[in-house]
Amino acid sequence: MITIRDIRVIATQPTRWPLVVVKVETSEPDLYGVGCATYTQRYTAVVSAIEEHLKPALVGRDVSRIEDTWQQAMVNGYWRNGPVVNNAVSGVDMALWDILGKRAGLPLYELFGGKCREAAAVYVHCNGRDKEEVLEQVRERMEEGYHYTRVQMGGYGGLVSGDRKPEGAVDGVYYDPRAYCRNMLDMMTYVREQVGEEQELLHDVHERLSPIDAVAFAKDVEALKLFFLEDILAPEDNAWFEKVRAVCATAISMGELFVHPLEWRPLVENRWIDFVRMHISTIGGITPARRAAEFCEAYGVRTAWHGPGDVSPVGHAANLHLDLWAPNFGIQEWCGFDELVYEMFPGLPEVRGGYMYPNDSPGLGIDIDESLAAKHPAKPEVIEWTQTRLPDGTPARP
């Protein structure tokens, strides 16, 4: 029997975001696995949960009992389904799947049942200061072979709107939801007219609208035939998806903030959304993500896993293995990484011509250069972009 000998946490920051990678070492020399536990905004809490709670409970356990380990780790702290615990469990879960693939000498997608496709189509981000700059970026991505582009203008919520603040209003990232709706509709209409309908366009609302404005916005953009409209509502407003579906046929994706299966299951069962896009480490890893994909397949809902820069390269590798296997794969978000990240994470999937390709190494097919990671340590900081406010200073969801 091969057992867990040690669990180590590597917190590194090669780019803008702190990343958390877990390394599970085994009783067999040179056999280890890596997993993603990246919850950027509270990464130190995840590190503590792993080092002080999960590690003492899991050292000595059989590495082959992945499901048993996941079930026990999720309930060992009694309170469950929160982003800190879920990410901590995910780091170990992914690493155990990585170890299983290495022991079998097979890429992880082979253990899931094999590939349904040779590569995963990806979408990339285009964010300009005005609609002309957005169009320029879209055309550049099209020339690079990307068929799917997410169009934003001025960041989430649009350009900062701080000129209407009342006297004495506190600092923050201000935006005007109503102006956002008008400006984004104008921008997307402009881009669609310029690139035609062959190029697939996406847009992320990022929960910045009130429910009734979200319903109206989804109806307004219907004519633009978006590939999907992302996170149009906050998880707390899930019941409003029924209203959205009733008034328009705009394709809807949802889920990067979900941490509990009862958040996404009603949306799937009622066919109120078209794509699920959870942050895989934040729902607990590969084990629950596979179950979610299989559940969604029965209802015709496709996957579009969260894949920005604050998903570690290990998390992106896990996304890809699920993408290659799932019969109901839809699209994969891709942020792109620079040479430093590729050097730090050998085996990081490559994207060519709008598709992400696996390297066919056993397990997840990715590793981490710990000496290089140590030269770029993660740094705790106060998160500013989530300090969002409405024009009158009211705190708003980011």
Q: What is the CATH number of the domain that holds 24?
A: 3.30.390.10
Q: Closest Cα to residue 50, out of 10, 98, 2?
A: 10
Same domain? 222 vs 114:
yes
Q: Is residue 275 part of a domain?
A: yes
Q: Is residue 315 part of a domain?
A: yes
Out of 80, 107, 134, a domain closes at: 107
Low-confidence ranges of the chain (pLDDT < 70): 160-162
The count of structural domains within the chain is 2
DSSP for 49-96 reads HIIIIIHHHHTTSBTT-HHHHHHHHHHTTSS-S-HHHHHHHHHHHHHH
Same domain? 244 vs 291:
yes
Dihedral angle at the C-alpha atoms of 258, 262, 263, 265, nearest 10 degrees?
110
Say how many residues make up the chain: 398
Out of 347, 362, 377, a domain closes at: 362
| Residue 385 to residues 143, 169, 230, 334, 397, Cα–Cα distance (Å) | 31, 17, 19, 21, 11
> What is the per-residue pLDDT for 165?
85
Amino acid symbol at 194: Q
> Residue 355: beta bridge partners?
121, 352
Same domain? 65 vs 190:
no
Same domain? 102 vs 183:
no
Report angle CA 67, 72, 74 to the nearest 5 degrees.
95
Residue 369 contacts residue 345 (beta carbons within 8 Å): yes
Give the pLDDT confidence of 328-383 residue by residue, as tens digits: 999 999 999 999 999 999 999 999 999 999 999 999 999 999 999 999 999 999 99
> What is the per-residue pLDDT for 163?
72
> What is the per-residue pLDDT for 160?
64
Distance from C-alpha of 15 to C-alpha of 36, rounded to nearest angstrom: 16
Q: Is residue 395 part of a domain?
A: no
Same domain? 229 vs 320:
yes
Same domain? 89 vs 238:
no
Distance from C-alpha of 345 to C-alpha of 59, rounded to nearest angstrom: 25
Distance from C-alpha of 287 to C-alpha of 65, rounded to nearest angstrom: 12
Collect all residues with Cβ–Cβ distance below 8 Å to 182 and sequence separation of at least 6.
none
Collect all residues with Cβ–Cβ distance below 8 Å to 246 and sequence separation of at least 6.
none
Q: Is residue 376 part of a domain?
A: no
Collect all residues with Cβ–Cβ distance below 8 Å to 393 and sequence separation of at least 6.
165, 166, 169, 170, 172, 174
Q: Is residue 296 part of a domain?
A: yes
Q: Is residue 264 part of a domain?
A: yes
Residue 201 contacts residue 192 (beta carbons within 8 Å): yes
Same domain? 338 vs 302:
yes
Same domain? 57 vs 169:
no
Same domain? 100 vs 159:
no
* 3-class DSSP state of 147: coil
Same domain? 188 vs 123:
yes
Amino acid symbol at 397: R
* Structure token pair of residue 51: 């080092």
Distance from C-alpha of 162 to C-alpha of 169, rounded to nearest angstrom: 10
Domain that holds residue 28: 4-107
Q: Give just the sign of the alpha carbon dihedral 370, 376, 382, 386.
A: negative
Q: Is residue 52 part of a domain?
A: yes
Amino acid symbol at 312: S
Give the pLDDT confidence of 160-196 residue by residue, as tens digits: 666 788 888 898 899 999 999 999 999 999 999 999 9
- Catalytically active residues are 156, 206
Same domain? 129 vs 239:
yes
Q: What is the CA radius of gyration of the chain?
A: 21
Same domain? 289 vs 341:
yes
Out of 107, 133, 158, a domain closes at: 107
Distance from C-alpha of 191 to C-alpha of 311, rounded to nearest angstrom: 28
Helices (H) and strands (E) in the chain, counts: 14, 15
> What is the per-residue pLDDT for 51?
98
What CATH number is given to the structural domain containing 142?
Answer: 3.20.20.120
| Residue 361 to residues 90, 109, 112, 186, 358, Cα–Cα distance (Å) | 21, 11, 15, 46, 8
Q: What is the DSSP letter of 340?
A: H
> What is the per-residue pLDDT for 220?
98
Collect all residues with Cβ–Cβ distance below 8 Å to 83 and sequence separation of at least 6.
39, 42, 259, 282
> What is the per-residue pLDDT for 185?
98
Q: Is residue 396 part of a domain?
A: no
Distance from C-alpha of 211 to C-alpha of 195, rounded to nearest angstrom: 30
